[in-house]
């Protein structure tokens, strides 16, 4: 398809972000138009999508003409974006995610020391323990019974870990927070419900701050409260709540889906599972393969042009937004490998973009990698005969323009005794 890129503009989107469309289908279509394509988002909000790996990197690296701050988004500042717009909760907020330059560095520095590979490695024994306890719980499931592995394992593992790091120890509050986050991200509820969930979520976080102020636990929330109280004005109350929100949200919703997708990929590739169990392949490579071929974020929202900017052959006008098509960019990096996910091909994953790039590169990447590695290896170690309970074609994708994954992962953890007898007999 030949396209005159100089004629592309947001007045005429060539594609859309459709939550009902498959991630890979969307990525393949965009790459035919790429590297930067005008698209329509829900409610016909317009944006550019950077879809080739090169364009994604250009946007993510500290580009002098682009900002992460939604106050530079023309349509938003003109009041054209409806209050309950499905993606708004991901975009607004005074956290590091939406800050540039010195402000970004100030907000990130307050917590970055806790997420270095060394600090996270020191937390590994606790991650192993939490994983073991969850798997002990799954041991009680009857052989042959169907379990939703997303609900029973992939959700609680990263949630418990990130809540522990931030001193959110009350199980009721953890559940409330998770439910509010789910509603905030859902495209299947009304705008009013999303707004209500955003308020509820802030209430949980405000209570967490009050509890930790009354009884500091040496956790990261207590450390942030110290920064808030500090004379040097390192943090405002709003920034504190928004920082907690972004880390607690990013710290579990992503890893949940990357765990689920990687389990699914491995269940369909028993040869690779056997090689992993035998130590011929390693679990970190399995994690990277999953992130590359089925990363949990299909698109990243957003960057905004500070002035008219040339971007890989198109002109992005001042105030126009840019989405980064992470799934498309990773697909392009995969080249022509028809098989997709393959743990043996780990060299290929070095440059994958699931964690982004540049100054906003995922703060939690070392944690996500470690909890995925521990989670996957212990899960398959405990339930080596686990199998999907339904044909893969019956799995339902998450309905979202941002998240890539399946809504539930029904598995049989251990075969029923009768299954064992019939296969032994056969």
Question: Which residues of the chain form contacts with ligand HEM (CB under 6 A)?
Answer: 60, 96-97, 108, 115, 162, 246-247, 250-251, 254-255, 258, 295-297, 300, 354-356, 360, 362-364, 367-368
Q: How far is the CB of 57 from ligand HEM (least distance, A)?
A: 11
Detail the DSSP E strand segments found in 54-156. Answer: 66-67, 146-148
How are beta strands 15-16 and 36-41 bridged, if at all? parallel
Say which DSSP state 154 is in: I
Detail the DSSP E strand segments found in 159-223. Answer: none
Q: Which is nearer to ligand HEM, 101 or 171 (CB)?
A: 101
> For residue 47, what is the enclosing H or E element?
strand 45-50
Residue 303's closest CA among 72, 80, 75? 72
Classify 327 in phi/psi space as left (phi over 0), alpha (psi -120 to 50) or beta: alpha
Q: How far is the CB of 257 from ligand HEM (least distance, A)?
A: 8
Q: Which is nearer to ligand HEM, 35 or 414 (CB)?
A: 35
Q: Residue 423: is it exposed, middle or buried by C-beta count within 10 angstroms (0-12/13-18/19+)?
A: exposed
Q: Which is nearer to ligand HEM, 299 or 413 (CB)?
A: 299
Residue 410's closest CA among 140, 204, 141? 141
Q: How far is the CB of 256 from ligand HEM (least distance, A)?
A: 9
Paired strand residues for 148: 410
Q: Which is nearer to ligand HEM, 8 or 184 (CB)?
A: 184
Q: In Å, how far are 153, 344, 350, 384 from 276, measured between CA atoms?
A: 20, 10, 19, 11
Q: Which is nearer to ligand HEM, 297 or 413 (CB)?
A: 297
Q: Which is nearer to ligand HEM, 206 or 362 (CB)?
A: 362
Q: How far is the CB of 231 from ligand HEM (least distance, A)?
A: 25
Q: How far is the CB of 392 from ligand HEM (least distance, A)?
A: 21
Count the helices and strands in the chain (H runs, E runs).
18, 11
DSSP secondary structure of 308-376 = -EEETTEEEPTT-EEEE-HHHHHHHHTTT-TT---GGGGGGGTT--TT--GGG--TTHHHHHHHHHHHH
| Phi, psi dihedrals of residue 91, rounded to the nearest 5° | -105, -35
Q: Which is nearer to ligand HEM, 59 or 281 (CB)?
A: 59
Q: How far is the CB of 403 from ligand HEM (least distance, A)?
A: 10
Q: How far is the CB of 132 from ligand HEM (least distance, A)?
A: 20
Q: Which is nearer to ligand HEM, 276 or 354 (CB)?
A: 354
Q: Which residue is nearest to ligand HEM, using beta carbons?
A: 364
Q: How far is the CB of 193 from ligand HEM (least distance, A)?
A: 25
Q: How far is the CB of 139 from ligand HEM (least distance, A)?
A: 26
Q: Which is nearer to ligand HEM, 38 or 93 (CB)?
A: 93
């Amino acid at each position: 398809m030949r396209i005159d890129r100089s004629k592309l503009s947001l007045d005429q989107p060539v594609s859309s972000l459709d939550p009902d469309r498959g991630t890979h289908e969307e990525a393949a279509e965009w790459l035919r138009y790429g590297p930067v394509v005008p698209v329509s988002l829900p409610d016909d909000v317009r944006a550019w999508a950077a879809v080739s790996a090169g364009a994604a990197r250009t946007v993510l690296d500290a580009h002098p003409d682009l900002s992460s701050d939604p106050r530079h988004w023309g349509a938003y500042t003109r009041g054209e974006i409806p209050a309950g717009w499905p993606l708004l909760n991901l975009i607004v907020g005074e956290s590091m995610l939406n800050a540039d330059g010195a402000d970004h560095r100030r907000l990130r520095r307050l917590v970055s020391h806790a997420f270095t590979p060394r600090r996270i490695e020191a937390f590994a024994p606790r991650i192993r323990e939490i994983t073991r306890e969850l798997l002990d719980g799954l041991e009680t499931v009857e052989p042959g019974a169907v379990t939703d592995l997303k609900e029973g394992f992939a959700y609680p593992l990263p949630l418990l870990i990130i809540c522990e790091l931030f001193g959110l120890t009350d199980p009721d509050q953890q559940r409330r927070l998770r439910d509010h986050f789910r509603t905030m991200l859902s495209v299947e509820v009304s705008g009013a419900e999303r707004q209500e969930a955003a308020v509820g979520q802030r209430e949980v976080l405000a209570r967490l701050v009050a509890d930790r102020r009354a009884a500091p636990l040496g956790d990261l929330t207590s450390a942030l409260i110290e920064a808030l109280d500090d004379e040097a004005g390192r943090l405002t109350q709003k920034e504190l709540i928004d920082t907690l929100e972004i880390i607690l949200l990013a710290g579990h919703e992503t890893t949940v889906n990357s765990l689920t997708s990687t389990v699914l990929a491995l269940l369909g590739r028993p040869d690779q599972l056997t090689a992993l169990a035998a130590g011929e392949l390693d679990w970190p490579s399995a994690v990277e393969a999953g992130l590359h071929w089925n990363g949990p974020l299909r698109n990243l929202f957003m960057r905004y042009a500070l002035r008219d900017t040339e971007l890989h052959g198109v002109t992005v006008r001042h105030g126009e937004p840019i989405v980064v098509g992470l799934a498309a960019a990773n697909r392009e990096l995969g080249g022509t490998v028809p098989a997709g996910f393959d743990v043996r091909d780990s060299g290929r994953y070095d440059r994958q973009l699931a964690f982004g790039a540049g100054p906003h590169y995922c703060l939690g990447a070392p944690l996500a990698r470690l909890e995925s590695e521990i989670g996957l290896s212990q899960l398959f170690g405990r339930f080596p005969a686990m199998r999907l309970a339904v044909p893969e074609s019956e799995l339902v994708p998450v309905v979202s323009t941002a998240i890539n994954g399946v809504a539930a992962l029904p598995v049989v953890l251990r075969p029923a005794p009768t299954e064992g007898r019939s296969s032994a007999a056969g």
